[in-house]
A and B are shown apart, each in its own frame.
Chain A
Amino acid sequence: MNKIGKKEIFILLGLVFLLIGLPLMVMVVKQSQELRRGAAGSGVLKLLLRPASADKRRGETLNVYVKLRNISSSTKEIRVAGFDLTYDSSVFQVDSDSIVCNGPLPVPARTEVSSNKIEVVCIKSLGSATASIVSGSGVNLAQITFQVKSGAALGNSEVNFVRTNIPDAHTEVDLSDAGVGGNYRIITDSSPTNTPRPTNTPGGPTNTPTRRPTNTPRPTNTPGPTNTPTPDPNAFCNDSDGGYEIYTPGTVTTNEGDFSDYCQDQDTLIEYYCLSYPSPHANPDPQSCAGVNSVCSDGACIQPTISLTPIPSPDAPRLSFKVKFDGVTGKIGDQYVKVLVKRQGFTKEFEDVLVVADDNGVMSGTISLVGVKAPRRYYLVIKGPKHVAERFCVNKQNGRCESGQMLVIRRENNFDFSAWLLMAGDIPDQNGLQDGVVDSVDFGRVKKALVSTDEEERARANLNFNKTSGGKEIVNGQDISMFLGTMSTRYDDDY
């Protein structure tokens, strides 16, 4: 008979450890997966930060929009949306007053900033009203201003979602995904800032897709009655363009292979980005480049350098048009207008369309109507930078258009709308956003600009664009008079 040796005792202790330790490990792993899943919800409403990447210097501000996109096949009704973001407080400073709910849920019910966390809840209203998020649409949910600290370290700094919650207004099931954050680079004061939208110049960034999947896009996370997605512990996902970034070609690298952003056609970009639920994977998302006044090229939406040269697009009809701003009788600086091409059941929006004034104040612009089929009848809606949108349905229109459409042909379309003035009064806010009506808020902006020394504020409220010989903006009684004139005649966007 021999006593049990040390070796045997160690084996026994190891087995006892396994008995207790293995289940504990399983529990810890499952709980961490559960936390991620609980944050994500059903995933049909995607939360994104735009821009997803940017270069900023110390002291500069970074305006980040929280976007909401409905990727389901049906309209979703919501009353409230909440999300928490984490950021590096040694790099960014965030003031809770800078957080704005500015989309379909415009009332900020909670905007709190702690040391490195931002908590936001936006609601529709204090009542029971709901907001409809149409299938396939993307809307702004909120805007947050980050101030880069003067002592911020150079390099990349991430802003990420840590909690999202957008309950369905009727079932209260969380519809949100886990959110896709942003990665922002703090650069030296002397280094040039990267332009977020690459210009369409020869020799620009090109991208050779390493793998272009031919199968249908991977289904998104719609909850099914039977299959519960199983997380893959070995999965990983990295996006070279930092996330949902349509202006930069990128490649998503996963354990299943590489997926490069590519152009399905000259309008549609298939943008790949990483989703983390149930496991990290590449998710394809079709994005209309025409919607951001761009064309799709080499895996990115490319906006041409600002010029009157139309976007080269042999198939798209071209629109050359003239408009005139109320109160402008001479040459003014280049301006940007929004053009909507509309017919029943169809709307194509072209933002930031450059218009250039002649010596009589007539503004001319040209756009390639990518995504607009021709020949067909449409009407146009044109909205100036501080103007009420006007509907145009006939060439040389000289009165209000109640109904009717005009023919848009395949090649050149020349329309002169300068006889029916764009009326000023929908004053943009400090972020350049207009709300589509002329009301007391706009009046307050004009009145405030009367005594303001802030040139930008005065420029926004300078309705007739007049300046002193020294180039200073003039805001005076004429602007008040123009404002009151607009309010009494054309006080809402005419769609």
Chain B
Amino acid sequence: MKIKKNNWKPAMSTIVITLSVFIIAESIWLVGKLEEISQRATSSELAVTPIKEEVKIAEPEALIKAAGPAVVSKGEEFILTVSLSARKDFSSDGMDVVLTYDSTFLEPVGVSAKINPDSLFKTAGLNLVEEDKARILVTILDLQSPGGVAVRAGDESDLFTFGFKALKTGKTVVVVNNDRAERRKTQVIKASTSDPLVLEKEDLVVMIK
């Protein structure tokens, strides 16, 4: 390649100006593109999605079930039974059960639950109805075994029963409240650590005719 010496300077100037224009244009384009990516990241999926994928649900160690008739007549009284079914082996010192109900549909019969004498836990620490909060609180404890009551996977136990009267027609639910964010909740505690088991729950759905 040969270029005349006296043509070199203008040619060089043209090259420099052209390249500079390219560099500036390219930079502006890149900055714009990255701003666009940046806005997408801060506003939506880039920041949020990973955590959603990370949430793991622990396997339940026991089921707490509220059982009773599926259909009752208005004015009729019925019995609700709360039971525990073990999914895994564990030892426990006691448990709390919190049942909530709709007081426009259901009226408690009596002021406390009837503890099953053959229940896993035989001592009632707390057993009352808070009608103002429409909830039933039952805490049953084991005072006998130093290491807690040993429960095997597959074991089932009826814990207590409670009476309701149906007030008006419609569908209502007696909820086994095990929301761990609540201060008072349904929980079964491990004997060695006092930590709660991971629970599965089953509410009672009642149709009042």
Contact = CB atoms under 8 A, between A and B. Distances in A.
Contact of B126 (A1, A105, A491): A491
Nearest to A429: B194
Contacts of B2: 1-4
B112 to A, nearest CB: 11
A80 B51 contact: yes
B26 A228 contact: no
A487 B126 contact: yes
A365 interface: no
B181 A167 contact: no
B88 to A, nearest CB: 18
Interface stretch (B63-71, B79-87, B93-101, B164-172): B93-101
Contacts of A1: 2-5
A2 B7 CA distance: 11
A105 B181 CA distance: 7
A310 B200 CA distance: 51
Contacts of B47: 38, 41, 165, 167, 174
A125 B58 CA distance: 11
Interface stretch (A239-247, A322-330, A442-450, A464-472): A442-450
A192 to B, nearest CB: 35
Q: Please name the 4 residue pairs, one residue from A and one from B, whose CB atoms are nearest each other, closest first.
A: A444-B194, A440-B94, A82-B51, A174-B47
Interface string A58-98: 00000000000000000000001010000000000000000
B179 A42 contact: no
A12 B8 CA distance: 12
Interface of B: 1-5, 8, 12, 15-16, 19, 22-23, 26-27, 30-31, 34-35, 37-39, 41-44, 46-48, 50-52, 54-57, 93-96, 123, 125-126, 137, 139, 141, 143, 146, 148, 179-181, 183-184, 187-194, 196
Contact of B184 (A2, A173, A492): A492
A4 B31 contact: no
A15 B22 CA distance: 11
Q: Is the interface of A mostly helix, strand, loop or mixed?
A: mixed
A23 interface: yes
A82 B56 CA distance: 13
B187 A109 contact: no
A41 B42 contact: yes
Interface stretch (A126-134, A264-272, A293-301): A126-134
B139 A107 contact: no
Given A34-B38, A38-B42, A439-B139, A444 B93 contact: yes
A110 B189 contact: no
Contacts of A448: 93, 191-192, 194
B41 A110 contact: no
Contacts of A105: 181
5 contacts: A104-B181, A119-B54, A131-B181, A174-B47, A480-B143
Contact of A34 (B8, B34, B181, B191): B34
B27 A80 contact: no
Given A15-B19, A228-B35, A440 B96 contact: yes
Given A11-B12, A441-B196, A443-B125, A30 B30 contact: yes
Given A1-B3, A3-B2, A480-B143, 19 more contacts: A1-B5, A2-B2, A8-B8, A15-B19, A30-B30, A30-B38, A38-B38, A106-B181, A109-B56, A110-B56, A125-B180, A129-B181, A165-B50, A174-B47, A439-B96, A440-B95, A444-B189, A448-B93, A491-B137
